[in-house]
Structure 1
């Protein structure tokens, strides 16, 4: 059983949902990003999503785009991102790690080599925004051979007759995009989610994580109650941004601020 499956099974036994916080690799620099990554499990993260910085992130809103730009400026590469995961695994062998990004850097790296190296580093799952099920053969065989879950996105606009095709190619968990549009621009209502998630559950037994627009502890608690997990990205990046100096560099407040946000989100998820 994968780390992702083990974690969701354990949380189900506890009767609660999961918190999946996001950080961008190398944002605003590698050391700061590593400090945040290492501190997230202790602050209440159940799984962790790491963004792979890319120059043309089509699904990302302004906040995540800027985080990616900071990461690239700080020297982020795909190999460097995998190196962060490998360093994290020296102290944490249990918390599932999911990489989120786009296919172009993986293609440039070499798909077979990437999947081998990702698994060796301790990556558990991949969310590749611009690889639909119709093109899954580009990476699915290598991912599967190396024990990497391929996590698919399902949106409010995903047609009923398309859901089985998308979900049959999904492993690990389903990522439900709560809004139409790009990340971090608005939030879905509780009523919208309560109506949408049962539609997805009809077609899968996998856990459902809700992201894109989950910003506050209250929203995270609701998302984890209606689904199985809440993914929080832009709110954490905004919180971090507020601590950076005029040149975009980390300050002594950066790591504590982000981890305090994670703690508040985790408390709400556990209550939810």
Structure 2
């Protein structure tokens, strides 16, 4: 993870972090999208671990989880996707994002062992606060897996030290209070939030929630270390399904085309500009 952010710094640009749900809309299409993301321009890849009750996610990502679960995706199959990806790409950081329940059911020691072996670089587990670090965060760090914490507009200066204490890899700033994919934060609010976070941490800062266009991604990446795009990509998957919910032949290509457009915007941004 650090090597990727160091490279972005040398290149003088922010990065593009892309989110897809594992197994959405089916295993084959999902694998094609995942395999094509680095060439399309993704610098870091987040893979959602589908869960039946994704409480922090908006309708688009909830629907993507349901499609994946309906098609038989499991945590074990998600790890197998990462392992298959690693046979062609050893460098692009992979972050698994989701909820603690599936990991707990899988067994934390077993999960961390298999995740590390598959090639997972980091975890974002949205429903484990710092007070529960002994559950997964500390074991993950000991296993050599980054534990990436979320900060939000309501995370005040008093709370931030606890949030950041065991965070590694990068800080994910959630730019709105609420669920994913529903609205976008104002540019000036994002800039102020990044400046505040930098007073508390030297870790890279990635900003997500509500970024849908190349222009918006470029603005965010000019101020932060990376822009995170998720709902726009799963919306594109949904828009390329037939009436029976099956992927149309151009589904993967449509998602990768959007990633290419977002990457072009990010790569054309001027580092240190105004978000």
TM range (shorter): over 0.9
Partner of 1:55: 52
Provide structure 1 residue ranges, at least 5 long, that are not aligned to the other structure.
none
Partner of 2:81: 84
Provide the C-alpha distance between the structure 2 equivalents of 1:223 and 1:118, rounded to a whole number of angstroms: 30
What's the CA shift string for 1:65-119, capped at 9, x where partnerless? 0000000001110000000000000000000000000000000000011001000
Which of 18, 21, 24 is equivalent to 1:21?
Answer: 18
Q: Is the 8 A contact 2:220 2:226 kept in 1?
A: yes
Partner of 2:90: 93
Taking the TM superposition and a 5 Å limit, the aligned residue runs for 1:60-75 are: 60-75=57-72
SS at match of 1:137: coil
Which of 262, 265, 268 is equivalent to 2:265?
Answer: 268
Moved over 2 A (4+): none
Provide structure 2 residue ranges, at least 5 long, that are not aligned to the other structure.
270-275
Aligned length: 269
- Structure 1 position 137 matched with structure 2 position 134: yes
Partner of 1:179: 176
Provide the C-alpha distance between the structure 2 equivalents of 1:120 and 1:261, rounded to a whole number of angstroms: 31
Partner of 2:7: 10
Which of 210, 219, 222 is equivalent to 2:219?
Answer: 222
State the TM-score, normalizing by the size of structure 1. Answer: 0.98
- Structure 1 position 104 matched with structure 2 position 101: yes
- Structure 1 position 150 matched with structure 2 position 147: yes
- Structure 1 position 210 matched with structure 2 position 211: no
Deviation of residue 159 (structure 1)?
1.2
Deviation of residue 63 (structure 1)?
0.2
Provide the C-alpha distance between the structure 1 equivalents of 2:160 and 2:137, rounded to a whole number of angstroms: 18
Q: Is the 8 A contact 2:116 2:143 kept in 1?
A: yes
Deviation of residue 239 (structure 1)?
1.2
Q: Is the 8 A contact 2:24 2:30 kept in 1?
A: yes
Which of 122, 125, 130 is equivalent to 1:128?
Answer: 125
What's the CA shift string for 1:29-59, capped at 9, x where partnerless? 0110000000000000001000000000110
SS at match of 1:35: helix
Provide the C-alpha distance between the structure 1 equivalents of 2:161 and 2:265, rounded to a whole number of angstroms: 32
Deviation of residue 142 (structure 1)?
2.1
SS at match of 2:134: helix
State the TM-score, normalizing by the size of structure 2. Answer: 0.97
